[in-house]
Chains A and B, each alone.
Chain A
Amino acid sequence: MKLKNWKELPEGAIIKNTPTSPEFKTGEWKTKEPYYHAEKCTHCLLCWLYCPDSVITVKNKKIDVFLLEYCKGCGICAKICPVNAIEMREVEL
């Protein structure tokens, strides 16, 4: 990304149109990533609640897609899942 020069920045060093962090992909940090067994999932939403990186999305009160480009591979989702619907797998390089 091209960095802005000083004249292009908003006054007061504020950040407008937040959130802007999704432009930064933290998914590169991970060595493992969740593999989601949709057929086992009961949609209790615990993984959504506890995923620190807002990777797990919910649509109509059901688990939807995993935004893996942000996943840091912590494994909290797999650990919290009461029915083992999430499994951590090594990331293939």
Chain B
Amino acid sequence: MKLKNLKKLALTGNEAAAYAMKQINPDVVAAYPITPSTEIVQIFSKYVADGEVDTEFVPVESEHSAMSVCIGASAAGARVMTATASQGLALMHEMLYIASSLRLPIVMVVGNRALSAPINIHADHSDAMGSRDSGWMQMFCENPNEVYHTVIMAVKIAEKANLPCMVEMDGFITTHEMEMVETLDDKEVQEFVKKRIPLYSVLNVEEPITIGALDLFDYYFEHKRGQVEAVFKAKKIISEVVKEYNTKFGFNFPDFVEEYETEDAEICVVAMSSAAGTLKEAIDLKRESGIKIGLIRIKTFRPFPYEILRERLRKFKAVGVMDRAETMSTLGGPLSIEIKASLYPLDKKPVIQNFIFGLGGREFSLEDAFHVIEIIENIKKGKKYDDVLYIGIRE
């Protein structure tokens, strides 16, 4: 239930992210342009130029430096945000691990895009999946409205967990899609995110600390174990913050997974980001012809909600998992592999079919979604398929 009338703005995913950043008014933003996230950087620079925020904007010379500046500023105790995509995220790769190990709650908006070569500027999840084990939290949004609200929630989640967080959306499909976004007042945003209370600050000259020391074989493992624990603990924080947000502002955003028409469903499809929108439409239509299919959309991919998925997916006869990234020679896309692993302890488990789709922005049409649903329905009836099926490719 909405507690009040929220201001509705027609915004693209990039605009929604930039607008949320404006309302957050972080201490430091260091960023570098790359399609399809460039606009976030441009719009935010304009906010700075117009005095709508008093953030220090650092127009760095590369994404590697973007993340390095973010790390320096965050280690000084600042609230820090950035945005990137694809090659930019890949160039940052080294620094992602450092940000998370130093426990710095940087929030980064990612417009998911394919990785070169061949160079391609359109949506897929190769960039995000390349950083899935870096210790960052990763929240995938379906549409601009969700992007806006998730950026705000991510600041609080990150700072409570002392872990960095990526807020991700599909390149062009969501970054450039315009949609009605229900926005909060600046004051509401400020009150929700509050002030950052850092674990430590490199600016504390009275009580100096050393950050980023060398670990040899006697401590590295222990430090990593502690870091993993922090990521596990973040699950509770995510649930709490999302719940607080929903209660405060009358929303119903998912913390880990969103369920659609699963109640009486016999089969299910699992997806992330914008593909879920197309699948929901297809599900509505297929249900009219009697196919009992539901959807589970994974919102938070890291920390990975394997307990939830195990619980929710166990009842289905067949489950299709949609992957917008390759693993080059394993049993399918990363999402399907992790879901298979999640269900492994169950005695009776659904058949899991992996679909790879949409690489390099290849359209995922309603027809494609129908096709996926039909295959899952056939599996329920006993038909067998290859481990990995490619959807929407010219064979």
The short answer to whether A and B are in direct contact, CB under 8 Å, is yes
> Which A residues contact B (CB, under 8 angstroms)?
3-7, 9, 11-18
> Contacts A4-B222, A7-B226; is A12 near B208 (CB within 8 Å)?
no
Contact B219 A12 (CB under 8 A): no
> Which B residues contact A (CB, under 8 angstroms)?
101-104, 162, 199-200, 207-213, 215, 218-219, 221-223, 225-226, 229-230
Contact A18 B210 (CB under 8 A): yes
Contact A13 B209 (CB under 8 A): no
Contact A9 B226 (CB under 8 A): yes
Q: Which of B218, B223, B229 contacts A13 (CB 8 A)?
A: B223
* B contact patch SS: loop
Distance between Cα atoms of A11 and B219 in the complex (Å): 13
Q: Give every chain B residue within 8 A of A14 (Cβ-Cβ).
A: 102, 199-200, 209-211, 213
Name B75's closest neighbour in chain A (CB-CB): A12
Q: Give every chain B residue within 8 A of A15 (Cβ-Cβ).
A: 209-210, 213
- A-B residue pair count with CB separations less than 8 angstroms: 53
Distance between Cα atoms of A9 and B213 in the complex (Å): 13
Sample (8) of A-B pairs whose CB atoms are under 8 Å apart: A3-B218, A9-B219, A11-B199, A13-B102, A13-B212, A13-B223, A14-B211, A18-B209
Shortest Cβ distance from A70 into chain B, in angstroms? 19
Distance between Cα atoms of A18 and B211 in the complex (Å): 11
Q: Give every chain B residue within 8 A of A3 (Cβ-Cβ).
A: 218-219
* A contact patch SS: loop
Distance between Cα atoms of A15 and B208 in the complex (Å): 9
Contact A11 B162 (CB under 8 A): yes
Q: Give every chain A residue within 8 A of B222 (Cβ-Cβ).
A: 4-6, 9
Name B215's closest neighbour in chain A (CB-CB): A13
Distance between Cα atoms of A37 and B219 in the complex (Å): 43
Shortest Cβ distance from B205 into chain A, in angstroms? 12
Apart from A12-B102, A16-B207, A18-B209, what are 18 other A-B pairs with CB-CB below 8 Å? A3-B219, A6-B221, A6-B222, A7-B226, A11-B103, A11-B162, A12-B101, A12-B162, A12-B199, A12-B200, A12-B211, A13-B211, A14-B102, A14-B200, A14-B209, A14-B211, A15-B210, A16-B209
